[in-house]
Amino acid sequence: MINNIADFFANLFSPIVSVLGVVLLYFHQTLGAPWWLAIVLLTVIVRSLLFPLTVKQVRSMRAMQDLKPHMDRVRAQFKDNPQRQREEMAKVYQDQGVNPLGGCLPILVQMPIFIGIFYVIRQFGGYSLGDRTVPPQYPSFHEGGILWFQNLSNADPTYLLPIISAVTMLAATEITAKNIDPQQRWLMRLLPIGFTIFLLNFPAGLFMYWITSNLVTLVQNFVIYNYGPGKKTSGDTKGTDNGKSKATSGDRQAQDSSSEQTSANSQEVATKQAAKIAKRKRRKKKK
């Protein structure tokens, strides 16, 4: 059963596996890079090609944040009519030219590549699955690692690679987490832990891809959120400042109008008192 599932996904992603395998072989055989460095170079190339999608994702996230006040008003206005609420939200998205699924595109593209890398490593280094053992296509893959993980087709017995993967993933997502809601922020911080537990016994070569991908993401996020479309402009704080200044101005106007009304009332009272005094004097003269 397990072998059938593995074969199904291997056939499903075979085009991606073929392309990634050719590029990996080019770095190793043509350029002479060791296998671990070939995986690193392949990862950098892939993430560089996906960089425009990452920028688009950030722009979509910022657009969704800008639309949040509109969405809140729609939810409050049609809270008893879910159908009308969905229609109005879709209308707001259409009018503003925002795709609510735009932020998911890079993730959807990266997953097939991640699965493709997994099958490339299985193919190059060999594997055992159930009662079937597949010999390595390139035996040098077993000595193509570095430091304590020499065999890229085996899991890291020290679990240092999964820990490094979790730390680098957390560092990469922390930059993004500062720009989202606090509730979603904690979910993003817990994601590296769950992801690492899932990948704990995966081959070391796969962690070379994932750690490198996390480091590239860290650099890209730093650039995007400090110098690109994710950077908070002065307009983001002007809204709050303008709101405060408007509130202060409104308070001042209210105070001014209140003082003017008090002054007018005082003048009216003084006029009435002067009129009463004048009447009394006239009465005395008549007597």
HEC string of 48-70 equals: HHCHHHHHHHHHHHHHHHHHHHH
Going residue by residue through the chain (287 aa), what tens digit of pLDDT does each one get? 555 666 676 778 788 888 999 999 999 999 999 999 999 999 999 888 888 887 877 777 777 777 777 778 878 887 787 788 788 778 877 777 776 666 666 677 778 888 888 888 888 888 776 667 778 888 888 888 888 888 888 888 899 999 998 899 888 887 776 666 666 667 777 777 888 888 888 889 999 998 999 999 888 888 887 777 666 665 554 444 444 444 344 444 444 444 445 444 555 555 656 566 566 655 655 55
Write down the pLDDT at residue 280.
Answer: 62
Residue 202 — φ and ψ, nearest 5°? -80, 160
C-beta separation of 45 from 212 below 8 A: no
Write down the pLDDT at residue 91.
Answer: 81
Q: What is the DSSP letter of 128?
A: E
Write down the pLDDT at residue 182.
Answer: 66
Beta bridge partners of residue 146, listed in sequence order? 149
C-beta separation of 189 from 177 below 8 A: yes
Would you say the C-alpha torsion 69, 72, 77, 83 has a positive or negative sign?
Answer: positive
User: CA-to-CA distance for 197 and 275, rounded, in angstroms?
Assistant: 91
Each residue of 142-163: b (16+ CB within 10 Å) or e?
A: bebbeeebebbbbbbeeeebbe
Write down the pLDDT at residue 281.
Answer: 57
C-alpha closest to that of 65 among 255, 235, 287, 250: 235
